Amino acid sequence: MNNTTPSPEILRRLASDMTFIAWYYIITGVLICFSIVGAIVGIPQLISGMRLKDSADELARYAYEPNPQLLEQALTLQQKFFFIQKILVIVVIAFSILYFFFFFAFIGAGIFTN
């Protein structure tokens, strides 16, 4: 085995950890979807969890059958997971900024005072 190829054991452990995290994202995505507003975040979280699980499956297959196409598919799916998570982080940051802006604007206007 050359120095640029990770060991199959490391790939299997990584795939196992990715599967665990994927199920966390899938379950929390489903739970968040129980509210209408939560579905805005829950559906992308559910989809990204499914992408991560698919990526983990491809990576586990690659550990047993070192086919470069399996690795490329695993990395492509993992990139989709991170892209969706990046969008969610941007949305959460934007909503947080808006929340604090309106919160302090209402306090400044005296709406929350007696």
State pTM to two decimals. Answer: 0.81
- Identify residue 88 by its one-letter amino acid code: L
The answer to whether 43 and 87 have CB atoms below 8 angstroms apart is no
pLDDT band of residue 1 (cuts 50, 70, 90) is very low
- Residue 10 C-alpha from the chain's centroid: 21
Average pLDDT, integer, range 51-72 = 95
pLDDT band of residue 98 (cuts 50, 70, 90) is very high
pLDDT of residue 14: 95
The answer to whether 70 and 61 have CB atoms below 8 angstroms apart is yes
pLDDT of residue 28: 95
